[in-house]
Chains A and B, each alone.
Chain A
Amino acid sequence: MAISREEIEKVALLARIRLEDNQVGALEKDVGNILNLVDQLQSADTSSVEPLAHPLDATQRLRADEVTEHDQRDAFQRIAPATEDGLYLVPRVIE
């Protein structure tokens, strides 16, 4: 299955990855080849098969509602690109 230039651009926007114009062509080809590879899936008869999300079919263990974490803001913000007054800074968000 082929993927169009527009689809590549749409998916890149969803994934928040900027593409330069000269990258789109190569991606069209590579992603198209990958989609061809995965198209083998369509040959499988899965009409009565339940999807498998986890190999062990286990169920979720639930945690007691107890505080186990303590403030480590300084440690976390030391490795942050931009902070002020304990806040992470990003370019102005317009709502």
Chain B
Amino acid sequence: MQWEVVIGLEIHVQLATQTKIFSGTSTAYGAAPNTQASAVDLAMPGTLPVANEQAFRYATMFGLAIDAEINRRSVFERKNYFYPDLPKGYQTTQLAQPIVGPGHVDIRLENGAEKRVRIHHAHLEEDAGKSLHEDYHGMTGIDLNRAGTPLIEIVTEPDMRSAEEAVAFARKLHGLVTSLGICDGDMSQGSMRFDVNVSIRPQGTDQLGTRTETKNLNSFRFMEAAIHHEVERQIDILEDGGEIVQETRLYNGDRDESRSMRTKEEANDYRYFPCPDLLPVEIDDAFIDSLRSAMPELPDAKEARFKADYGLSDYDAGLLSNNAATADYFEATAKTGGDAKLAANWILGELSARLNAAELNIKQSPVSAERLGTLVQRIADNTLSSSGAKKVFEALWNGDEADVDAIIDREGLKQVSDTGELEKLVDSVLADMGDQIEQYRAEDDPKKRKKLMGGFMGPLMKASKGQGNPKLLNDILQKKLEG
């Protein structure tokens, strides 16, 4: 049977606020355990929440970016359940009246077609702490630094039909929230976490199949693998005549395994009700308009501008515009370097390869945009050959603190581009190659002539000690041979 895959996502996005959603505690990453857990975060008796305005700004900006309705009135509710990383015994979240109503995100598929993914809603809520399962005498350790970090949970409609679509959507969303500056996008630190709802149904049918939810995927690669894994698991079950159980599953990306998270405990009954410690939040048109007028350029607009202003290809413009940090890096490099296409090639080529290999993001690049820009400039003005440029890049990557020009001088990488000097050089080399010149001139086949021409370039480059501008040498040589 042909199966159709149906995927919906729930994405938790940590907002890049300075403080928690209901307390003035720092949200900076990496502090020692429980040093960023105040009385409110610890749910000390009598303490009360006060909502962070910036979280509402960021959620509203997200809503504007996905063309959603912004609800003028939103209400926090309590979602009741016991867990050691949840200090109050309830999570403060939004249910019936979320801040962001229905919207949409358009993605581009590999075949170039556009597809619209509908957003059901996005709501504000607080993150939980972390359980550390290393052995503390058979106990679990609880760190509540993360408890109360503001999140928006974005819930899509089940509009995606393959793992590839889901990943394209996830990447697009990542680009959106980082471009908006509402999330640092650092997935390795859990800044974006994906829950994937997957079901399958016979191709051509309308009824949705029973879905499973795979929770807490924090890389695009694991998300893609988890979907493939789950689709295969469901197909195997259905084709063996079994039934899918609606359940939450955990995926282990390192082993490509998943297992059910079902426990013997009772079915959840979260007993939502409006939080009496918080009042309904009302935002007005002025609040929304001020955010709308200050919206940063979003990836789609950026892509169009990169194509128009820099003459980039669809592909390069798409890659460079989807991540705000990458886009900023590119524009800074292009500005210094003066040649945008060359800048794009270096960023998407050498730099990306090196960053990936070192598992760094572009903000952590050891080569600053300005230095890469200077390198690009020296390639564009013929100071550097491509092999010379690679040597300079290598030095920059390894933390050479000297100026780009100083490195070029020090390493003797500067190309000779003085035509008079190069002509003398060509003349002196050709003086000893009479036979070859005869042979070349006697050849009629252009292909063979070209090959013979290559026989002169080696000695020429050698004579110039590798510093002759190859293109100029080639031009001069051709002129002399034809002469």
Contact = CB atoms under 8 A, between A and B. Distances in A.
Direct contact of A and B (CB under 8 A): yes
Interface of A: 10, 13-14, 16, 53-54, 58-69, 71-73, 76-77, 82, 84-95
Given A54-B276, A87-B136, A63 B282 contact: no
Interface residues of B, number: 52
Interface in B16-62: 17-19, 23-26, 32-40, 42, 44, 50-56
Given A67-B25, A76-B39, A88 B34 contact: yes
B51 A62 contact: yes
Contacts of B141: 84-85, 87-89
23 contacts: A58-B279, A59-B280, A60-B282, A62-B52, A62-B53, A64-B54, A65-B18, A66-B19, A67-B18, A67-B19, A67-B25, A72-B39, A73-B32, A73-B34, A73-B37, A76-B34, A84-B136, A86-B33, A89-B142, A90-B84, A90-B142, A91-B139, A94-B263
A58 B73 CA distance: 12
Interface string B138-154: 11111110000000000
B193 to A, nearest CB: 15
Ordered nearest first, which 5 A-B pairs have the shortest CB separation?
Answer: A68-B24, A87-B141, A65-B54, A62-B53, A69-B38
Contacts of A66: 18-19, 24
A23 to B, nearest CB: 19
A19 B34 CA distance: 33
B71 to A, nearest CB: 13
B84 A76 contact: no
B250 interface: yes
Contacts of B221: none
Nearest to B130: A87
Given A59-B279, A65-B53, A67-B19, A93 B266 contact: no
Contacts of A93: 84, 131, 133, 140
A88 B142 contact: yes
A80 to B, nearest CB: 9
Given A87-B142, A89-B141, A93-B131, A65 B34 contact: no
B281 A60 contact: yes
Contacts of A60: 51, 278-282
B13 to A, nearest CB: 17
B88 to A, nearest CB: 13
